């Protein structure tokens, strides 16, 4: 079965290439750990630094990739930034999976 056929069968309304890009963003273990942490609610970058064992500059890079993908957003609070999942982020990820259906 081709990717185009699977797309029509319920993989969402996004083109397969868009879905693949979104899934590749979360396929990186550190980014997936960030998303896991943010499912618990808004989290300060300082807390993410404690929970995710990567250098601060690398965490910053992963946060930027997730922001650019539209999965998270950040709000500045003094010298810190609080991160949270964007509305519908988990639904978009679910919809990107084969048979995932439309985004929530």
pLDDT recorded at residue 36? 96
Q: In Å, how far from its chain's centre is CA 52? A: 15
pLDDT recorded at residue 102? 54
CB 15 within 8 A of CB 7: yes
Closest CA to 38 of 81, 82, 76: 82
Is the pLDDT assigned to residue 6 strictly greater than 50?
A: no
- Whole-model pTM: value is 0.79
Residue pLDDT, tens place only, 81-99: 999 999 999 999 999 999 8
Q: Where are the domains of the chain?
A: 3-96
Say which CATH class 3-96 falls into: mainly alpha
Q: In Å, how far from its chain's centre is CA 37? A: 11
DSSP-derived letter for residue 80 is E
pLDDT recorded at residue 101? 65
Run of H or E residues at 47: helix 45-51
Closest CA to 25 of 56, 59, 60, 67: 67
19-43: average pLDDT: 96
pLDDT recorded at residue 10? 42
The residue whose two tokens read 């957003």 is 73
pLDDT recorded at residue 15? 74
| Spatial distance between the Cα atoms of 45 and 23, rounded to a whole number of angstroms | 23
Is the pLDDT assigned to residue 8 strictly greater than 50?
A: no
């Amino acid at each position: 079965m081709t990717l185009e056929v699977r797309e029509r069968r319920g993989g969402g309304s996004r083109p397969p290439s868009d879905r693949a890009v979104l899934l590749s963003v979360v396929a990186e273990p550190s980014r997936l750990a960030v998303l896991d942490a943010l499912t618990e609610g808004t989290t300060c970058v300082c807390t993410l630094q404690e929970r995710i064992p990567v250098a601060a500059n690398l965490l910053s890079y992963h946060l930027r990739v997730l922001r650019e993908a539209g999965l998270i957003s950040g709000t500045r609070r003094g010298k810190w930034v609080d991160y949270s999942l964007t509305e519908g982020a988990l639904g978009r990820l679910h919809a990107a999976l084969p048979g995932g259906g439309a985004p929530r």
